Chains A and B, each alone.
Chain A
Amino acid sequence: MPRLTSRRTFLLAGTTVAAGLVAGRNRSQVEGTTGQDELLSCIVDTCIPADESPGALDLGLDNKLKQEIKTKPKTAELINRLIPAVKNKSLSKYRKSFCQLDVAEREALLIELSIDRSQVQNQSDFRKFRRTLFQWYYSSAEGQAGLGYTLPAHYPAYAASSAGTKS
């Protein structure tokens, strides 16, 4: 999935450098974003990366979150706490921005955040964030297709009665 890889590459490389490398949908999505947006996308990508099935970025779940931030104050508050927590932890532990970390480092950092009982607010925020993200992803047709599952409502025969009428 080249299109998806380029977006991920962009996020890892940083806005300024990579902006010229991405094209089409990805570029237009990223242009004008703030550092917070970029970091949010990196977190989303870390939680549900693409592999043989699409990742959360491919489903636009980072953008969905950004839209929610605009309309839902509680989501905005949560993200506004979570983003600095991730940013600061990354800088203090690795002296790099979160998006510059490799996959293993990013995963380790987020897991640490989710189990660190000394930072109850961070722990709670990340768990809520994870829940929202997984809920969106695994209730989507794309996420479910990655498990080999098709929601009955998406069956081809759902709209019209078909097949084998008894004579």
Chain B
Amino acid sequence: MDFDVLIIGSGAGGGMAALALCEQGFKVGLVERGKRFNPKQHYIQNYGDWGLRKDPLRTARRPEETINTNYATEYTLDGKQHRRSANVYFRVHGLGGSTLHYQGEAHRFAEHAFNTKSQFGWGLDWPITYQDLAPFYQRAEELLGVAGDANNPFKAKRGEYPTPAHALSPRSRILAESAIKVGMSLLPNPLALPSQSVDGRVPCQHSGGCDYGCVFGAKSSIDQAIIPRAEKTGNLSILTESRALALTLDEQNEIAAVKVATPNGMQQLSANAYVLATGAVETPRLMLTTHEAGSDTAYANTNDQVGRYFMETLLTRVQLELEADIKTYRGPPLDSRVWDYNYPMDNQTSGFVLGAAGYLNPGNDPVQLALRTPGIGHAHKEQVRASFGRDLFLFGLAEQEPQHDNRLFLSNKEDAAGVPKVNIHCEYSQRDHHTMQQMRNKLRKWAEATPNKRVRNGPTTLTRSAATHVGGTCRMGNNPAHSVVDAYGKVHGKSNCWITDASILATQGAGDSPSLTIQALALRTADRLAAELKG
């Protein structure tokens, strides 16, 4: 065997599982499709013309388009035809996976998010409770140095965060006042952006550049906060720029090796146990492209569950131009949230959260803003100055109701390596539509209660999918007829395969971001896996 455990994918779930296993003495191989980035060299915000540069976190994935973009979801609801174009799949090829571009949101799912079925009559009950996961949430928060305020009345009672909450940004202070006017509370968002140094790392510098790779290495992405700790154990072997193409099965249809394309050629890597952690699209894709001997089914898909219950986050936005002349990008991009509706407001609506974001993106960065502002001379300079740093949007995020027929399945189109792409079919339910409308209503009232120059509706996911936070597809459950993995992330009916990514999420946390939950689940799975390996 090459390793005790071979982990495919180095993002939130894979990276955290690697650390837990290395610390318990296991030799771990970690396969990552992308490269290892150097924050002080590779990230665009090291450079004055960053808005014109190719962002390596985005361009790294372009050679491999996973999703067949010609597949659109069309469906009828209440007599109306709806069409959703193919998913825009935001992910990162790089050591640390999508934590390289996440905003550091470190949410514990609310207690009610684990049993929506028994509480509200829709969705699904997880096979575990919040209390089962709480110690692992705590451990993950400590590793990440999460900054937060423990006195959030909408969340389960908890101890202090590892580092204090960041002070609210200028934009959030304004928005907090208007939120009160419409009966809401804008509260500090727990962030894996340590407000104090942890492990000798530079604390968050409020640069606002989380999305393009933190040039300070201050954001607790997996490559900064977790991998170095795992490397110190001497038990971690990292294979970057290496892609897992297929699972190689033995006669019992257990994984015998993983076929990996490395910079040094094709390799069959073997281990005593395998952890799949390539996300809610790539993990089922890898399983669906591997066929079991003596049957027509794909790996672990006897019950036709792999790829089903695909879930997105429902997103709606309202653009807001503040009356106040402040730089809206200052501070962590997502430093505050509204949780008043995290607990469903009525029996027709899913739980959701609201928030505000101020970003500098390529497009509203200094250079591109200047280029697209017409004219020259004094007037041009004044116009650029007046419009720079004014972009702000309010957003609502909700969980999508899990549905059996929302799924990904193999396309007849292939990527450059000959691996089939996937089609994603994803309809919105009546509840989803209603929740989107409720979020929009709340956002409009909030925006209009804020001293503003302009309020307008922004884009939503009603017509265009957004695969930033996707989940399901290999969901967790006690019954193999309706799930793919058990309560510890072990694939039903298999002896040596575990999953630690968003694909195992049974529901999407009522609008909270999934990263911390994925990491807590990975720590829990790793402990279980370690116990099994120790016998």
A119 close to B (CB within 8 Å): no
- Residues of chain B with a CB closer than 8 A to A148's CB: 327, 388-389
Are B196 and A165 in contact, CB atoms less than 8 angstroms apart?
yes
B375 on the A face (CB < 8 A): yes
Q: Does B46 contact A (CB under 8 A)?
A: yes
Q: A20 contacts the other chain (Cβ, under 8 Å)?
A: no
A46 and B366 within 8 A (CB)? no
In the complex, the 6 A-B pairs of residues with the closest C-beta atoms, listed nearest first: A139-B48, A139-B49, A152-B207, A164-B196, A166-B196, A138-B366
Known: A47-B377, A148-B327, A151-B45. A158 touches B215 (CB 8 A): yes
* B50 proximity list for chain A (CB < 8 A): 151
Give the distance in Å from the alpha carbon of A110 to the alpha carbon of B385 in the complex.
21
Say if the beta carbon of B162 comes within 8 Å of chain A: yes
Binds B, one of A7-15, A24-32, A33-41, A129-137: A129-137
**A135, B207: Cβ atoms under 8 Å?**
no
Residue among A53, A111, A134, A155 making CB contact with B370, cutoff 8 Å = A134
CA distance in complex: A158, B203 (Å): 11
Q: How far is the CA of A19 from the CA of B203 in the complex (A)?
A: 53
Do A165 and B197 form a contact, CB below 8 Å, given A139-B366, A141-B48, A151-B48? yes
Chain A residues numbered 56-72 whose CB sits less than 8 Å from any CB in chain B:
none
Within 8 A of B (CB), among A120-160: 130-131, 134-135, 137-141, 143-144, 146-149, 151-153, 155, 157-158
A residues in contact with B366, CB < 8 Å = 138-139, 143-144, 147, 149
The residue that B381 contacts in the complex, of A51, A149, A155, with Cβ under 8 A, is A51
| B201 interfacial by beta-carbon distance below 8 Å | yes
- The smallest beta-carbon distance between B200 and chain A, in angstroms, is 7
Given contacts A49-B377, A107-B377, A110-B376, contact A166 B389 (CB under 8 A): no
A137–B373 Cα distance when bound, in Å, is 14
Q: How far is the CA of A158 from the CA of B381 in the complex (A)?
A: 29
Report if A85 contacts B (CB, 8 A): no
A49 and B382 alpha carbons, distance in the complex (Å): 11
- Nearest-neighbor residue (CB-CB) of B162 within chain A: A166
Q: Is B154 an interface residue (CB 8 A)?
A: no
Contact yes or no, A161 B202, CB < 8 A: yes
B367 at the interface (CB under 8 A from A): yes
For A141, the closest partner residue in chain B by CB is B48
> Is B203 in contact with A153, judged by CB distance below 8 angstroms?
no
> In the complex, how many angstroms separate the beta carbon of A88 from the nearest chain B beta carbon?
19
Which of chain B's residues has its CB closest to A154's CB? B48
The answer to whether A49 touches B381, judged by C-beta atoms less than 8 angstroms apart, is yes
Cβ contacts under 8 Å, A164 to chain B: 195-197, 203
What B residues does A23 contact at CB under 8 A?
Answer: none
Q: Is the CB of A134 within 8 A of B367?
A: yes
A125 to chain B, nearest CB (A): 14
Q: Which B residues contact A (CB, under 8 angstroms)? A: 45-50, 52, 145, 162-163, 194-198, 200-203, 205, 207, 209, 215-216, 327, 360, 366-367, 369-371, 375-382, 384-385, 388-389
B145–A166 CB distance below 8 A: yes
A142–B122 alpha-carbon span in the complex (Å): 57
Query: Is B45's CB under 8 angstroms from A131's CB?
Result: no
Q: Which interface residue of A51, A147, A157, A165 has the most chain B CB atoms within 10 A?
A: A147
Are B367 and A166 in contact, with the CB atoms below 8 A? no
Closest CB-CB distance, A102 to chain B, in whole Å? 12
User: Given known contacts A48-B381, A147-B385, A151-B48, is B202 in contact with A135 (CB within 8 Å)?
Assistant: no
A103 touches B370 (CB 8 A): no
Q: Chain B nearest CB: distance from A103 CB in Å?
A: 7
Residue of B nearest to A163 (CB): B203
Contacts of B216 in A (CB 8 A): 152, 155, 157-158
| In the complex, residue of chain B having the shortest beta-carbon distance to the beta carbon of A48 | B381
Complex Cα distance, B195 from A111, in Å, reads 49
Q: Which residues of A contact B196 (CB under 8 A)?
A: 163-166
A106–B379 Cα distance when bound, in Å, is 13
Q: Report the minimum CB–CB distance from A12 to chain B (whole Å).
A: 15
**Residue of A at shortest CB range from B377?**
A107
Q: How many whole Å from A135's CB to the nearest CB in chain B? A: 6
A147-B366, A148-B327 given; A161·B200 CB < 8 A: yes
Closest to A150 in B: B207
**CA of A151 to CA of B215 in the docked complex: distance in angstroms?**
10
In the complex, A16 has a CB within 8 A of chain B: no
Not counting A134-B371, A151-B50, A152-B205, a sample of 5 additional A-B residue pairs whose C-beta atoms are within 8 angstroms of each other reads A147-B384, A153-B46, A153-B215, A163-B197, A166-B196
Bound together, the chains give a CA A131 to CA B216 distance in angstroms of 30
- Rounded to whole angstroms, the CA-CA distance of A103 and B376 in the bound complex is 11
Contacts of A107 in B (CB 8 A): 375-379
**Cross-chain contact of A53 among B45, B47, B163, B381 (Cβ < 8 A):** B381
Set B198, B205, B380, B388: member contacting A166, Cβ < 8 A? B198
User: In whole angstroms, how far apart are the Cα atoms of A152 and B195 in the complex?
Assistant: 17
* B208 → A minimal CB distance (Å): 8
25 sampled A-B residue pairs with Cβ under 8 A? A47-B377, A47-B380, A48-B376, A103-B378, A107-B379, A110-B376, A134-B367, A138-B48, A138-B384, A139-B48, A140-B48, A143-B366, A146-B381, A147-B366, A148-B327, A149-B366, A149-B388, A151-B47, A151-B50, A152-B46, A152-B209, A155-B205, A155-B207, A165-B196, A166-B198
Q: Closest Cβ of chain A: how far from B488's Cβ, in Å?
A: 32
- Which residues of B are found within 8 Å of A134, using beta-carbon distances? 367, 370-371
Q: Are A152 and B376 in contact (CB under 8 A)?
A: no
A162 in the interface, Cβ–Cβ < 8 Å?
yes
A135 touches B52 (CB 8 A): yes
The distance in angstroms between the C-alpha atoms of A49 and B377, with both chains bound, is 6
Given contacts A111-B376, A135-B49, A147-B389, contact A161 B367 (CB under 8 A): no
User: How far does the Cβ of A128 sit from chain B's closest Cβ, in whole Å?
Assistant: 12
Closest-by-CB residue of A relative to B384 is A147
Q: How far is the CA of A139 from the CA of B381 in the complex (A)?
A: 14
For the complex, what is the distance from the CA of A130 to the CA of B202, rounded to whole Å?
39
A135 with B367: CB separation less than 8 A:
yes
Contact partners of A157 in chain B: CB under 8 A: 202, 205, 216
A144 partner residues in chain B, CB cutoff 8 A: 48, 366
- A135 pairs with B371, CB closer than 8 A: yes
